[in-house]
Amino acid sequence: MSENLQEVVAKILKYSEQFVLELKSANTKAQVLDLKAKYVGKDGLVTVIMKGLKSATVEEKREIGKKSNECKDQIEQMSKNALEELEHQEINRTLEENWIDISFRDSIRSKAACTSGYHPVTMIQREVEDIFSSMGFDILDGPYLEDDYHNFEALNIPKDHPARDMQDTFWFKDMTHLLRTHTSTIQVRGMEKYTPPFKFVGPGKVFRCERTDASHEFVFHQIEGMMVDKDISVANLIYFLKILLSEIFKKDVEVRLRPGFFPFVEPGFEMDIKCLICGGKGCAVCKYGGWVELVPCGLVHPNVLKYGKIDTSIYKGFAFGLGLDRLVMMKYAIDDIRLIHAGDLRFISQFASI
Ligand code: FA5
């Protein structure tokens, strides 16, 4: 070797310090890589010293080899750290520049994908309420949890009357309370609230312990209607129901009236609508009969008026109980009632824009 041992070792230490200084001003990965190559690359300053060891003495090899290896390791390690640091900075800069509020974007996306709106039953309920309130009817509410008196007794269905079996009831353990099986309970509550003449409708959920099929749910919706005045006749009842149906369907729909038995009306009727799913040809919804039972109705039984403390020598009344879910099915040609309450947004969101 042309230089002595001390001179070479000093050179190595100088390179080491020089590298540390120069690294401070390397601001990009390329600059770091260039710097690393300058010292420990194929022809780097440290590498050249190591290559020159071939002609060195054993002692020089040991001493210079040790120092140059330490210097090389230090340069490689510091280059690695610097590159990692620059990589981090780059990621942070990218994140900073392309910052996205994920929750904001999600809310936009969900708004676009799933426009909010009312449930079809709520929509039809409000429509029916609007039609009746425009004709002077009040809107009444009633509780889901009812007692035997309001659901049966005051509707002329005494205990042990076979008509109790017409509606399968969810009873509470005390056997005097139940989930109302129909909105006719609101008739009883209406008579407690008003003195005649009066007219009101009462919408809401009802509950029946029964098996479901294409036209039967065990939780569904009805809207009760009741009018009490002097000289009420079946003609008044038909008049209001026809207005209702023509307003809802905005077209002529075929209906038929047939006798129907309900202990709280006399005479009692069933108003059926020609099935709008199959056009009367027969399908699962109309049970292949072509007609769908929609609005049972009739003149209020005198016993019911008496329970309501109404003077039957002066007043008469009519009442009806419209199935709201069936009305939704007819209006929007839905062939299975179970779709309406299945909670499937793909189904429900179709009504959002209506
Ligand atoms: C009644 O509930 C009587 N309270 C209606 C009434 C009121 C009659 C006033 C006379 C005077 P019904 O059980 O038939 O009647 O039910 C009335 C309507 O609710 C039916 O015509 C039908 O449209 C709907 N409905 C009945 N059961 C179900 C069910 N399981 N699922 C969906 N809709 C039903």
Break the chain into its structural domains and give their ranges: 5-97, 120-351
Distance 157 CA to ligand 1 centre (A): 16
User: Which tokens in the block code for residue 221?
Assistant: 């919706």
pLDDT tens, residue order, the chain (354 aa):
567 888 888 999 999 999 999 999 999 999 999 999 999 998 899 998 888 888 888 888 888 888 889 999 999 999 999 999 999 999 988 888 877 666 655 554 555 555 678 899 999 999 999 999 999 999 999 999 999 999 999 999 988 888 787 778 999 999 999 999 999 999 999 999 999 999 999 999 999 999 999 999 999 999 999 999 999 999 999 999 989 998 999 888 888 999 999 999 999 999 999 998 899 999 988 989 999 998 999 999 999 999 999 999 999 999 999 999 999 998 998 999 999 999 888 888 888 766
Is there an atom of ligand 1 within 6 Å of 220 CB? yes
Q: What pLDDT does 182 receive?
A: 97
CB 265 within 8 A of CB 297: yes
Looking at residue 101, what is its pLDDT?
A: 63
Task: Assign domain 120-351 one CATH number from 2.30.42.10, 3.30.930.10, 3.90.870.40, 3.10.180.10.
Answer: 3.30.930.10
Q: Measured from the CB, is residue 217 less than 6 Å from ligand 1? A: yes
Ligand 1 mean position to 318 CA, how many Å? 16
186: CA distance to ligand 1 center in Å? 14
How many A from CA of 354 to the centre of ligand 1?
27
Please name the residue whose Cα sits nearest to atom 31 of ligand 1. Answer: 216
Mutate to test the pocket of ligand 1, among 326, 329, 330 (most ligand atoms within 8 A of CB): 326
Cα 8 versus chain centre, distance? 78
Ligand 1 atom with least separation from CA of 293 = 21
d(CA 78, ligand 1 centre) in Å:
83
Ligand 1 contact via 182 beta carbon (within 6 Å): yes
Q: Which amino acid is at 240?
A: F
Residue 57's pLDDT is 84
pTM summary value: 0.70
Given the CA of residue 218, which atom of ligand 1 is nearest to it? 30
Among 156, 155, 154, 203, which Cα is nearest to 183's?
203
Angle at 115 between CA 114 and CA 121, to 5 degrees: 100
- Predicted local confidence at residue 64, as pLDDT: 86
Nearest CA-CA partner of 322 in 309, 331, 310, 333: 331
pLDDT for the residue numbered 142: 97
Q: How far is the CA of 321 from the centre of ligand 1 (A)?
A: 6
Backbone angles phi, psi at 324, to 5 degrees: -70, -35
| pLDDT, position 114 | 57
Distance separating alpha carbons of residues 346 and 354, to the nearest angstrom: 15
